[in-house]
Amino acid sequence: MTSHAASGLTRDQHEETSKAAQRLADRWLVAGTALMGTLVFGLIGLPMFLRGLWLQRGAEQEGLSVRPAIVTLIGYLVILDAFINSIGWALDLLANHSLLNRVFFTAWGNYADNGYFWQYNELMVGGTAAPGEKAWEVTCIFVVFPMRIAAAIAFLQMKRWGHQWLVVTCWFGVVIWVGYVANMTMYADIRFAGTLLPVFGWWLFDVFYITPFLAIPYLHTVNREIFAD
Amino acid sequence: MSRSSTDAGSGTESDQELPLGTTPQFARMHRLLRIAITVCLFGLVIEGAFTVPALAIWYGYPTLSLTEICDEFMKVRWNDETATCEYPYPIGGPPYGGKGEGTERTTASTTWGVQPKSNLPRIGFRELVRNRERRAGR
């Protein structure tokens, strides 16, 4: 009846083989995500990530007990989202006078959000001077993103608390997006005036960061019994 | 790790083909979510890989070095042709102490008030290169 019986393995052998297959796939998935998380090496990381997905799919087709593909996608993309956001904001918070930051972050600012160009590095702590922006950086870097990465790791390990905390942090994502966009809109004269692509450019860049929102309907409709206590 | 599909689902014949944890009534939604998440993955990687080089080219690289681009940004930001990009910036600068490169500058064209306006000009394609050449010509 069960797949391990069908493949002629004992239950223990089936579990061992499944674990090994998942671990092999995870190696590729982790390496791919780490490279994609740097932003600039994403094109190297993506094929590695896809190979991990492909290995996992192959194991599933062989009847092994591996994670569902959508759990893998959500878990790793939530981590990726947190890493890419953290890199940019951590640079602005801690390395705002480095040349790379003063060239590329302010260039990005001038393209999509002049909050990262206007009066830049005038604030006592340096970096963006847009009203409210530093508060979002601190909130997200020190609270939301670490919480989200921890939750996503446990979610990938199919743990119950990983599922529960991913629900919490993904809803937190709604709070930060609504708060952030509202704050940005209040100061639109600073943030969008003089940019290359006002408003549209910001959405064009940021719309791909909606994975935590896409996770919410899944997290609320998945059969929670698959996540172990 | 995960259990086989017969352990956790409702166990009926109809959901044998569904992914673990997906019930028949949400199968379509889960498939659409998987597609949307995959689109986001490709979107993030493609924009991530091309944004940095695209910005560098727009703002004058390789005609201008990174330090020169930084320099031109200073002149636009502070509306001041004498503003320069100090590189390397002292390690004790913000946020670790000292003054930021923008501290006490008063030349920016900002209109101050409860709702400040930046009055920044839009920087066109390789306009910083032309700005620099014009200044060198003078």
The pLDDT tens digits for B106-126 are 999 999 999 999 999 999 999
Chain A closest CA to B42's CA: distance in Å?
A: 8
Helices (H), chain A: 3-6, 11-36, 42-61, 69-94, 99-100, 106-112, 133-139, 145-156, 160-186, 188-191, 200-206, 211-221
**C-beta neighbour count of B25 within 10 angstroms:** 9
- Chain A hits for B88, Cβ within 8 Å: 99
Give me B38's structure tokens: 């995959």
Chain B closest CA to A167's CA: distance in Å?
A: 16
Chain B closest CA to A18's CA: distance in Å?
A: 9
Do the chains contact at A4 and B87, CB–CB below 8 Å?
A: no
Cis peptide before B62 (omega within 30 of 0): yes
Do the chains contact at B44 and A68, CB–CB below 8 Å?
A: no
The residues with which B111 forms a beta bridge, in sequence order, are B117
The pLDDT tens digits for A64-122 are 999 999 999 999 999 999 999 999 999 999 999 999 999 999 999 999 999 999 999 99
In chain A (229 residues long), the average pLDDT of successive 10-residue segments reads 56 91 96 92 94 96 92 95 92 95 95 96 95 96 95 96 96 95 95 95 92 94 92
- Chain B hits for A67, Cβ within 8 Å: 1-2, 20
ipTM of the shown complex: 0.89
Counting Cβ atoms within 10 Å, is residue A4 exposed (0-12), middle (13-18) or buried (19+)? buried
Do the chains contact at A84 and B44, CB–CB below 8 Å?
A: yes
- Chain B hits for A92, Cβ within 8 Å: none
Cα separation, A127 vs A121, in Å, equals 5
DSSP assignment string, A150-179: HHHHHHHTTBHHHHHHHHHHHHHHHHHHHH
Q: pTM of the predicted model, to two decimals?
A: 0.88
Phi/psi at B111 (5° precision): -95, 115
**Measured at the alpha carbon of residue A44, what is the angle toward residues A148 and A141, in degrees to the nearest 5?**
25
Cα separation, B72 vs A101, in Å, equals 15
Q: Which of A121, A133, A191, A200 to mutate to test the interface with B (most CBs of B within 10 A)?
A: A121
Q: Which of B10, B65, B87, B118 to mutate to test the interface with A (most CBs of A within 10 A)?
A: B118
Nearest CA in chain B to A210: B40
Do the chains contact at B77 and A119, CB–CB below 8 Å?
A: yes
The pLDDT tens digits for B4-16 are 444 444 444 455 5
Yes or no: say if A158 and A67 are a contact pair by the CB < 8 Å rule: yes
Give me A154's structure tokens: 């446990």
Do the chains contact at B119 and A194, CB–CB below 8 Å?
A: yes
Considering only CB atoms, A22 lies closest to which of B1, B85, B117, namely B1
Do the chains contact at B66 and A99, CB–CB below 8 Å?
A: yes
Quote the pLDDT of residue A189.
Answer: 94
